[in-house]
Every structure is written in C-alpha cells, then in structure tokens.
Structure 1
Amino acid sequence: MGTLREIQLRLNSIKNIGKITKSMKMIASTKVNKAQRSMESARIYGSSSSGIYQNTKTVPLEGETGLYIVSSSDRGLCGGIHSSVAKATRRIIAENAPGPVVVLGDKSKSQMVRSNRGDIELSFSQIGKDIPSFAEACTAADTILTSGVKFDNATIVFNQFRSAIAYEAGPIHNYSTEALKSSEGFTAYEVDEGVLENYNEFLFANNIYWSLVEGHASEMSAKRTAMENATKNAGEMVDRLTITYNRTRQAAITSELIDIITGASAL
C-alpha cells in the first residue's frame, strides 16, 4: 500500500484518463453514424456492381496468380480490429497459393511484416483519418495496376460490419477478365472487349472503396466500444482507489490520535 500522496497522484491520473477516454468515446459515437451512412451506400454499389461474378458463377482459372490486399488504417485504440484482418489474410493465404500482398494502412502492415515480409509489394499510409473517398480508392487501384505487380485475381480482406458491437474479417474477390469471359453464365451478357476490360478495372476500384468504407465504419464502432470499456474500467479503478485512500487516511488519523492520547496519558 502506497502513501497518501502516491495514492492521490494515481487517483488524479486515472480520473484524467477517464475524462480523455470519455471524450474520445463521444467523438467516436459522432463519427459512427456518419461512417455507417457512407458504408450503406458503398455496400449497395459494391454488391450490385460485383453481382456479375455471382450471376456468371466466375471462378479463378487454373494457374492464375492471386493478389492479397489487406484493408485497414493507420489509427489505433480500437481493440483487435487490425489484428483480425491480418489473421484472416494469413489464413486465406495458407488455404490458397501464396502471392503478392498489398497493405492499405500502417497498422496491419506492421503485423503482416512479421509473417509475410517477402510477399509485401506495396503499402499505403495516411488512411483512416476520415471517411475514405472513391477518389482515394481509384488512386490506390491505379497505383496497384501500374506498379508492375503481376497478378490475375485479387482478394481484398477487410472488416465486414455486422452490428454496432460486432464485425468479422472477410474477403471480396475480384477476378480476371479471362476468368469472367470463361465463366459458364457469361454468354448471357453482350459486352464488348474494351468495355469489359474497363468495367473489370472499375470493379477493382469499387471493391477497394467498399472495403475501405466498411472497414472504417467497423473501426469507428470498435473504437467507441473500446473507449466505453476504458471509461468504465477507469471509473472502477477510481472507486477502488478512493476506498483505499479513505482507509489509509483513516488509519493515519487513528495512528496520530493514538500517539496524542498516549502522550497525554503519560503526562
């Protein structure tokens, strides 16, 4: 048990931390609603545009190279949301053939470097400060396509928003133009060669945008939950330290009274 001064300093420190986490929770709560609205529109456009893969039953062709894109951000203080994406990516790579890796965000990059350092071809930073835009996704997609990274299919791993308190890491698949043309249901579509190539590039950028926006909504929700738990823990620690401080103070006062009474009795 520390002295009264030490307990008082620790008590004040935890109170200040509780005020900070409470403010961060309020900020995250404000951002969650805005992020969810952007996520809903991105999810609708993403699932609709990628519906051609499901309608044509597209599958990768044999011998094609797969690219793995890890979608996260640069921000922390949001629980294990970044580690869940890294773990899901490592699991998907283990289940399939190894391939080049592109990381969106510094948090997942530091985790992927530990296990797949030699596979990382590109990484992007300055992600997660605000709601991602389609222009940013197009820039990332264009950089990947023009960087010289050789791949045919792309698997984008991101945090899928389930509810205000739940998320799950999962993939979005982007197939090559040859795989799309070879699919059994493609004959139902009448698409020119150049249009199909451009449309597939648009799907690639749109899927990156979808993953970034939905991952951002999951991150804000997880951050709010993390700050709420931190505020609750700080409050519990303040209550325990207050009891300890009062007991220590009472013991010190009692000891001083005993000394005074003993001295008075001796006189």
Structure 2
Amino acid sequence: MKPPLPPPSPYYRNYATLREIETRLKSIKNIEKITKTMKIVASTRMGKAQRAIAASRVYTEGDYEFFGVSETKAPEEQEKTLIIAITSDKGLCGSIHSSIAKTARRKLAEIPNADVVTIGDKIKVQLLRTNAQNVVLSFNGIGKEAPSFYESSLIADEIAKLGKYDRVEVLYNKFMSSVAFEPTYVDAFTAESIDASTKLSTFEVDEESGSTSGLAQYSLANTILAAMSEGYASEIAARRNAMDNASNNAGDMINKYSILYNRTRQAVITNELVDIITGASSLG
C-alpha cells in the first residue's frame, strides 16, 4: 500500500496564485488595448456622424418651415397610431438603447393598441420581451455606417405598405453634445394631416393629383433620415465615452493587480529564503 501523499506545500499555492494573478493581469491589459482602440475608432467616426446630422437637418428644416407656415397639426383623435423606434444593431455604448426602450414602453402604456416599427436589433430585442404584440415590422443592418437618404427612403416605402395611420411618431436619441443625448419624439405628418392644414392654400399643392400623399412619404423619409443621423451620432459619442470609462477602469485594475503581484512575489521569495536559511542552520 502506497503511503498517502504529503499535503501540498504552501509555496505551491503561492506559485499558483502568482500564475493566476499574472494571467488575470495579461487579460486585463489585452482588454485595455481593445477598449482604447475602440475609443480611437469612435473618435474618428464622430466627425463623419456630425456631418451626417448637418446634411439631414437641411431637409428637415425645409419640412418644418412648410408645416409651420401651413399650420399642419397631428389629429387629436388617434384611433390608429404608429411608433417608429430607432436604435442600431451594435452594443457597447452604455444605456443609449435601453433609454429608447424605456421611453417606448411608457408610450405604449398610454396607447396600448399602437403599432411599433423597430429600426435596429437592439430596440427590437428589448420590445419583443415586453410588447411583442405591438411590433409589426422590424429592420436590421442599421448603424454600421452613417445613414443615407436611400436607406431611409427604402424604410419609408416598407412602412407605407402597412396601411394608413392617424398619427405617426418617430422615437430616436437626439444628439445634444458629445456627452449627452435625449430620447425624443417627433411627428411625421400623414397625408390626411397635411390635407387638413388650415393654410395649405399658401402653397401650390394639387390635392387631387395625390401630391400630398407623395409629400407625406417624402417627409417621412426625411424624418427617418434625420432621426437615424441623430441616433448614429449619439451612439458614436456614447460608445466613445463608454470605451474611455472602460479603459480607465482597466488601468485602475492593472495598477491594483500589479501591486498584488509584486507583493505576492516578494512573499514567495521571502519564504524561499527562510527555507534556505532554516535548512542551512539545521545542517550546521
């Protein structure tokens, strides 16, 4: 019968601890490199996102001027309402997507029978958990690049196939600054709302030719483009800030683990020296 194995030496545990600390330290350093790289990428995209906002606002300002002069208003009685909620497919950008989901849920609590169109996988996943019965159409592949009018017009065409709504509201993250965004609703006026404008006669609009319907669809595409541009810039800024915070946290953890590693290593060396001196003394 073999004798039982002796208990492991405490130094083996120290060595194991050193290896664990060293492995953890390497992984944190790798994470810090990734987060710093993602921060740099987000910073380089910020200028492009702001230019996309400036370009989209040119068209939306024209829409707002037209609707302001013609005194177009959303109908007070809303039997059928459509909410277009806009995020993107990407994460790692803080609470920017969940804030849109919370705002949409509050709106659905007020209007339980409203239909929802989701643009972006993030808002789709969150709303399907709580309000799956309201989601009627979804789009993905959003947020990889700065949005274009071609993209928003295709989305508007698919939304038009859903039928007529009394009111259409677009929910998006409005870009306030590089460190702030705000979930915002904006009305996308329907053809019926435009026809009911009190001062529509100010403009030369041929109502019989259906031009108001085309105008409503064009305005919806402009509104979606502006909302996507604002949301894209807000997401880039939020991701840059999130990666900056993650890099700072990783740096703090690296400092703590470096101190722990050095102290543990010193303790192992001290214990080995004590063993050597004790063994030499016993032989003498």
2:184 is matched with which residue?
170
2:219 is matched with which residue?
203
Q: Which moved more, 1:52-61 or 1:11-20?
A: 52-61
Q: Which segments of 5 or more consecutive residues in structure 1 lack a partner in the other structure?
A: none
Report deviation, 1:61: 4.5
Q: Which segments of 5 or more consecutive residues in structure 2 lack a partner in the other structure?
A: 1-13
Report the secondary structure of 1:225's partner residue: helix
1:34 is matched with which residue?
48
> Is this contact kept in 1: 2:88–2:140, CA < 8 A?
yes
Q: Aligned-residue CA RMSD in angstroms?
A: 1.7
> Is this contact kept in 1: 2:169–2:188, CA < 8 A?
yes
Report the secondary structure of 1:253's partner residue: helix
Are residues 1:130 and 2:158 paired? no
TM-score (ref. length: structure 1): 0.94
Equivalent positions of 1:1-267 (< 5 A) are 3-55=17-69, 56-96=71-111, 98-146=113-161, 148-193=162-207, 194-266=210-282, 267=284
Which letter does structure 1 place at the counterpart of 2:241?
T
Report the secondary structure of 2:131's partner residue: helix
Report deviation, 1:65: 1.4
Q: Which moved more, 1:174-183 or 1:126-135?
A: 174-183
> Is this contact kept in 1: 2:118–2:139, CA < 8 A?
yes
Q: Which moved more, 1:52-61 or 1:98-107?
A: 52-61
Which letter does structure 2 place at the counterpart of 1:74?
D
Report the secondary structure of 1:183's partner residue: coil
Report deviation, 1:57: 4.8
> Is this contact kept in 2: 1:128–1:216, CA < 8 A?
yes
Change (3 A) 1:94 1:53: farther
Report the secondary structure of 1:3's partner residue: helix
Between the aligned residues of both structures, percent identity stands at: 45
Report deviation, 1:262: 1.6
Q: Residues of 1 paired with 2:108 and 2:195: CA distance?
A: 25
Report the secondary structure of 1:75's partner residue: coil
Change (3 A) 1:243 1:63: closer
> Is this contact kept in 2: 1:35–1:216, CA < 8 A?
yes
Report the secondary structure of 2:160's partner residue: helix
Max radius of gyration: which structure?
Answer: 2
Q: Residues of 1 paired with 2:29 and 2:87: CA distance?
A: 32
Q: Residues of 2 paired with 1:41 and 1:92: CA distance?
A: 30
> Is this contact kept in 2: 1:68–1:154, CA < 8 A?
yes
Report deviation, 1:47: 3.0
> Is this contact kept in 1: 2:74–2:187, CA < 8 A?
no
Q: Residues of 2 paired with 1:164 and 1:90: CA distance?
A: 26
